[in-house]
Amino acid sequence: DNRVDSFITSTSVDQVVFRNNTFRDNELQGCALKTFGNFVTLDGNTFGGVIARWFDNGCGAVDADGNTITEDDLRGIAHDDMVPEETVEPTSVTVKNADEFLAAIAPNTEIIIDAKEIDLSTAKEYGGGPQKYYRWQDNFDGSGLVITGVKNLTIRSKDGKTKNHTISAVPRYADVLSFSGCENIVLSGFTAGHTQEPGACTGGVLKFENCMNVTVNDCGMYGCGILGVNAESCTQITLRKCDIYECSYGGVSMTDTTGIILEGCTFRDLGG
C-alpha cells in the first residue's frame, strides 16, 4: 500500500495559485501541501478524504484577497476567474504515428493528433542523434523524447476527446514527453503515460525544464509515471482541467518555478 508524502511539492517559488482543483481518492501519509516555507494562494478547491495535516512546518496559505487562512478555512474560498494567455496562431499539421509527430516538431506549429495512440518508442530513428528541435535522453531502459528550443508549439487531439488519444513511451525510467528551453507551449485534449505495467519506475509523464508560458489543458497523465508534471526552473505554468492519476510519488512537482496555476484539475489514486 504505497502512500504519497504530499499532493504538491514546490521549492524556491512564488506566485503559486491553486484554483478550483479537486483532490480525491488519494493515499496521503504526510502533509497535503509542502511548499518549504512559502505561502500559496488557495481559491475554491475541493479536498476529499481524511487529511490529518495540511501544511509542512513554516508553510501556509492565503485566499484570493491575500488574507491568511488556516486548515479549517480551506473550503468555500471565493472564485476568481482568470483569463488565459493568448498564443501565436500556428501552422497546423495532422499526424497519425510517431514518425509524423517527430517530423512536425517546429516553432509556430500546431500538431494535431489523429490516432488512438502514438508510441514514441516505435519511431524509426528512436534513440538516435539530436535533431534541430528535439533529442533523445538516454535512460536505464530506453530513451525519452526531449523537445528543445521551440516557441509557439501546440500539441492537441483532433477532436478534443482526451481518452481517445494517447502519447506513450515504453521505458519506465524515461519521462514520456519532455520540453527544454521552450516558450509558449500548449498541450490539450490527450492522455500521456507509459505503456508498461506499474512497477519500479523513475520516469514521470510530462517534464518542463527552463520553459516559459506553458499551458496543459484537459489532458490525462497516468502512472506508472512517478509524477504527472515535473517543472524545473520555469516561468508561468498553467494546468487546467487535467486528470492526474495512479502516479506513484505524487501529482505535481515544481522546483525553482514561478507563476504556477492549477485550476479545475483532478488528482486521484495517487500512491495507491
Report the C-alpha gap between 143 and 126 in whole angstroms: 8
Overall domain count for the chain: 1
Alpha-carbon span 102 to 186, nearest angstrom: 16
Range of the domain at 222: 8-268
Alpha-carbon distance 118 to 101, whole Å?
Answer: 8
Closest to 178 measured CA to CA, from 238, 243, 231: 231
Place of cell 521552450: 182
Any idea which of 66-80, 125-139, 180-194 has the lowest mean pLDDT?
66-80
Assess if residue 3 is contained within a domain.
no
Beta bridge partners of residue 243, listed in sequence order: 220, 266
Q: Which strand (E) or helix (H) includes residue 216?
A: strand 212-217
C-alpha cell at 160: 478534443
For residue 2, tell me if it sits in a domain.
no
Of 73, 78, 116, the residue nearest 95 (C-alpha) = 116
In a domain, 150, yes or no: yes
In a domain, 94, yes or no: yes
pTM over 0.85: no
Q: What is the pLDDT of residue 84?
A: 44
DSSP three-state, residue 176: coil
Mind listing the pLDDT tens digit for each residue in 174-230?
899 999 999 999 999 999 998 865 556 678 999 999 899 999 999 999 977 789 999
